[in-house]
Amino acid sequence: MKNPSSDCTEILVGKAASMDGSTIVARNEDGYGPINPIKFVVHEAKEQKNASYVSVTTGVRVPLPDHAYRYTATPQADQSDGQYEEAGINEFNVGMSSTETTATNARVLGYDPLVHNGVDEEAMLTLVLPYVKTAKEGAIRLGSLLEKYGTGECNSIAFNDKNEVWLLETAGGHHWAAMRLPDDCYAIVPNQTVMQEVDLNDTDNFLVATDLVKFVEKHHLNLQPGHFNFRDIFGTQSEADAYYNTPRTWYGQKLFNPEIDQEPTSQDMPMVRKPTKKLAIEDVEDFLSSHYNGTKYDPFGTFASGTKKEQQQFRSIAMDRNQASSILQIRNDVDDNHAAIQWLSLGFFAYSPYVPFYTNIKDTPEDYKNTTNEVSIDNVYWLEKTLSVMIEPHYHEYSDMLHAYLEGCQSYARQRLEVTDEVIDGFTSDVSEFLTESNQKTAGEVSSRTHKLFNNIVKKGLMLSKTTWEKGQNL
């Protein structure tokens, strides 16, 4: 069973809701505790006749297709309890983010209990992403695996390609439904079942388990005849949701629809909204790295003065358990061979920049793939984690320095994408080799800036000691 503290925050953006026509699937991976080292890798395409996947977590054995496509991933450095590959994009520019922990209500679990020898988070991306060519195919393949093998967890999983964004939510041990996000909308997913009305006749936009309708009818689970509201039938609306989950939806919708008046603890906020203005990658980053900034609920007390109780009232989005944040962007304004970008942030996202990596590549930068289990500032994960330990006790003293670093890295990232895109237009050589080298240059510069920030923070921190004493200062 997954540790219940392994929770995440997700945002999905349709192509008509994004500033540049991209589809976006983005998610914070929040680990079992403050420490869960993550690395960034790419798997080459390969032939694998008669291969099977065997989970070290549940023991499930799943036969695999004969050919696996190339894909990126963000697995754990320590894989003794499984790979947990979590987020990546494959060679067909299909993105997958797995998973967002959710909950199925007790009534449903009484009829379809979780199973503990099935397909769990640890295996989902590995079993699906290398074998699908569209986002919808990803939802279909995962759904079929859930029906056949079952799952021991409650999760939502997101997929995107250049045209569509799909969200799949599990229900009990074997059931599920998936929906296509409307192109002009975004959705926030905060560790809670969020899918609402499902049109069972609209297979272009909805998919469900083969026996889902019969299951609901047999056990009298639908409280609204004539409707099929997945959240009401399968989800929860608990006091814990109101303080742990719904405030994150409230804050995201406050950012992107500021004209709407809602309460942070409301259980009636819709999953899907049309943003007041189109969303850029920077808007997604701001949400995923936020901590109720500008409200009385901000634990840093950055812009508004709340009481200590108010500042600790709701579960923050950026928090100590942040491990890796991936924004999977499939662009529509460039050629397919360089359309897919995985923006990656490691550590504590309030302090860590997002670095854009093209995914049509042969390798990842050394300090992103050499993550160790022990602390070492020679890899990006631990460098960023170490910075967070240093920054948090003196956040306001370091704030100007930190934000100058983050803004500089973001501007540099945009410049690198612009330059690389322009060079690739009309490119006749090996694009994947060029993109691999381009990623190395981008990551190298950001890592250099991060080490410089580390140097400056150490030096400034030495001046903040409470034991500083100048000779004659009290004379």
pLDDT in tens, 370-382: 999 999 999 999 9
Task: Record the tokens describing residue 284, joined without a space.
Answer: 């997604």
Q: Is 175 exposed, middle or buried (0-12, 13-18, 19+ CB in 10 A)?
A: buried
Task: Record the tokens describing residue 395, joined without a space.
Answer: 């956040």
| DSSP bridge partners of 344 | 326, 355
Closest CA to 208 of 239, 177, 181, 175: 177
Q: Is 169 exposed, middle or buried (0-12, 13-18, 19+ CB in 10 A)?
A: buried
Helix (H, G, I), strand (E, B) or coil at 103: coil
Q: Which amino acid is present at 268?
A: D
pLDDT in tens, 221-266: 998 989 999 999 999 999 999 999 999 999 999 999 999 999 999 9
Closest CA to 164 of 17, 31, 296: 17
- Phi then psi dihedrals of residue 277, to 5 deg: -135, 160
| DSSP bridge partners of 10 | 27, 189
Tell me the C-alpha distance between 471 and 370, whole Å: 47
The pTM assigned to this predicted structure is 0.96
Q: What is the 3-state secondary structure (H, E, C) of 270-312?
A: CCEECCCCCECHHHHHHHHCCCCCCCCCCCCCCCCCCCHHHHC
- Tell me the domain boundaries of the chain: 5-329, 387-461
The DSSP string of 106-164 is HHHHHHS---SSS--HHHHHHHHGGG-SSHHHHHHHHHHHHHHH--SS-EEEEEE-SS-
Do the beta carbons of residue 362 and residue 44 sit within 8 Å?
A: yes
Do the beta carbons of residue 10 and residue 188 sit within 8 Å?
A: yes
Do the beta carbons of residue 173 and residue 112 sit within 8 Å?
A: yes
Q: Kindly report the length of the chain.
A: 475
Tell me the C-alpha distance between 381 and 370, whole Å: 9
Assess whether 8 carries a catalytic annotation: yes
Residue with tokens 């090996």: 430
Catalytic residue from among 8, 154, 185, 409: 8
Segment 254-263 long-range contacts (CB within 8 Å, at least 24 positions apart): 255/283, 255/286, 255/287, 255/290, 256/186, 256/283, 256/287
pLDDT of residue 5: 40
| DSSP bridge partners of 357 | 342
pLDDT of residue 364: 98
Half-sphere exposure of 55 (CA within 13 A, CB side): 24
Task: Record the tokens describing residue 318, joined without a space.
Answer: 């950026």
pLDDT of residue 123: 97
pLDDT block averages, 10 residues each, the chain of length 475: 62 98 97 87 97 97 98 96 96 97 97 97 98 98 98 97 98 98 98 97 97 98 94 95 95 98 96 98 97 92 82 91 96 96 95 97 98 96 95 92 97 98 85 97 98 96 80 60
Helix (H) or strand (E) holding 347: none
- Phi then psi dihedrals of residue 326, to 5 deg: -120, 130
User: Dihedral angle at the C-alpha atoms of 135, 139, 144, 147, nearest 10 degrees?
Assistant: 170
| DSSP bridge partners of 330 | 23, 340
